[in-house]
Amino acid sequence: MQLLYTLREGFSGFRRAKLSMSAAIATICVSLLLLGSFSILVLNANTVVESLREKVEMEAFLAEYVSPIETSIVRDSIASLPGVREVRYVSKDSAAKIFKDEFGEDVNRVLDFNPLPASIKIFLKDGYRNAKSAEAIYEAVKNIRGVDDVIYRKTLLEMLDTRAKTFLWLTFGIGVFITLSSVFLVANTIRLAIYAKRKIIQTMKLIGATKSFVRGPFILEGLVQGFIGGALAAGILFLVFEYLARWISVELVDFVHVKPIYYGIVAAAGCLLGFIGSVISIRRFIGESVAHE
């Protein structure tokens, strides 16, 4: 009996109070559009940063006197260092070929000899592509006998570390602000819908209706409103980001890449937002204001 009443009253608000229901749905939709757009840009920005880190590699140049056997020893020594994912040997001939591919000149013809040293490219593991870890690996590689010099993009890693930390705190603060603002707006919009039924609620409480009996329909209303608002927001985000992905440059396309599952998360977030808004409004309004009218 109570379940049937909850379902009937929960959906009746869409017929009786169309304006307040529409306002609640629109509020949830707009809130999720802000949260969704912001989170997509943040997640994709982090992906871009990580892709830049993946491109950072070290290169250890070997001294001229290093023999093939010693080269193998140096390579194994580097590969055994903590944080090293992979090493790749580049011979003098391979270095000359890379030079020709990049600059269009055959170094052997220009100088009649190959001045390029053999080297070992070093690829780092996840978690070690930061300035502090890379510097420790750099020092360890430089001290290995047979290594003449070591280079890597130290400045880029330091810049990424600094900017990433600042970006993390900034986005965290903005995300918390948008989330709290969204909950506040949704809660107050739903509160107006509850206020419109204050006389009915008061009558029900006077005849002995339990708190769960009174609150149930409003919780259901909040969930339905949240789902509709979340579905609308997901649909709008899909259209917007699909349009942007077709028209922006290739260099920026990673910033608007969205996985299909994300739209389902937005719809689920709408349900959660509607539920939280309903609970807050019910506890503050039904438990206090209505009882004293």
The pair of three-digit structure tokens given for residue 99, joined into one six-digit string: 């030079």
- CA–CA dist 282, 219 (Å, integer): 8
Section 71-91 average pLDDT: 89
Confidence of residue 250 (pLDDT cuts 50, 70, 90): low
All structural domains of the chain: 2-52+160-292 (no CATH), 57-152 (3.30.70.3040)
Q: Quote the pLDDT of residue 29.
A: 87
Q: Quote the pLDDT of residue 196.
A: 67
The pair of three-digit structure tokens given for residue 269, joined into one six-digit string: 């977030």
pLDDT (tens digit per residue) in 3-21:
565 555 555 555 665 676 7
**Predicted model pTM:** 0.60
Section 219-237 average pLDDT: 85
Residue 224 pLDDT greater than 80, yes or no = yes
- CA–CA dist 32, 275 (Å, integer): 14
Range 19-31 burial, b when 16+ CB lie within 10 A, else e: ebbebbbebbbbb
pLDDT (tens digit per residue) in 27-50:
888 888 888 888 877 777 777 777
- CA–CA dist 198, 196 (Å, integer): 6
Q: Quote the pLDDT of residue 50.
A: 76
Section 176-198 average pLDDT: 74
pLDDT (tens digit per residue) in 125-178:
888 888 888 899 999 998 888 888 888 888 888 888 887 778 778 877 887 887
- CA–CA dist 174, 248 (Å, integer): 25
Confidence of residue 93 (pLDDT cuts 50, 70, 90): confident
Q: Quote the pLDDT of residue 241.
A: 79
Average pLDDT, the chain: 77
- CA–CA dist 144, 37 (Å, integer): 49
Lowest mean pLDDT segment, chosen from 181-190, 217-226, 227-236: 181-190
DSSP secondary structure letters along the chain = -HHHHHHHHHHHHHHH-HHHHHHHHHHHHHHHHHHHHHHHHHHHHHHHHHHHHHT--EEEEEPTT--HHHHHHHHHHHHTSTTEEEEEEE-HHHHHHHHHHHHS--HHHHHSS--PPPEEEEEEPTT--SHHHHHHHHHHHHTSTTEEEEE--HHHHHHHHHHHHHHHHHHHHHHHHHHHHHHHHHHHHHHHHHHTTHHHHHHHHHTT--HHHHHHHHHHHHHHHHHHHHHHHHHHHHHHHHHHHHHS-GGGGGGG---HHHHHHHHHHHHHHHHHHHHHHHHHIIIIIGGG-
Q: Quote the pLDDT of residue 108.
A: 62
Q: Quote the pLDDT of residue 104.
A: 67
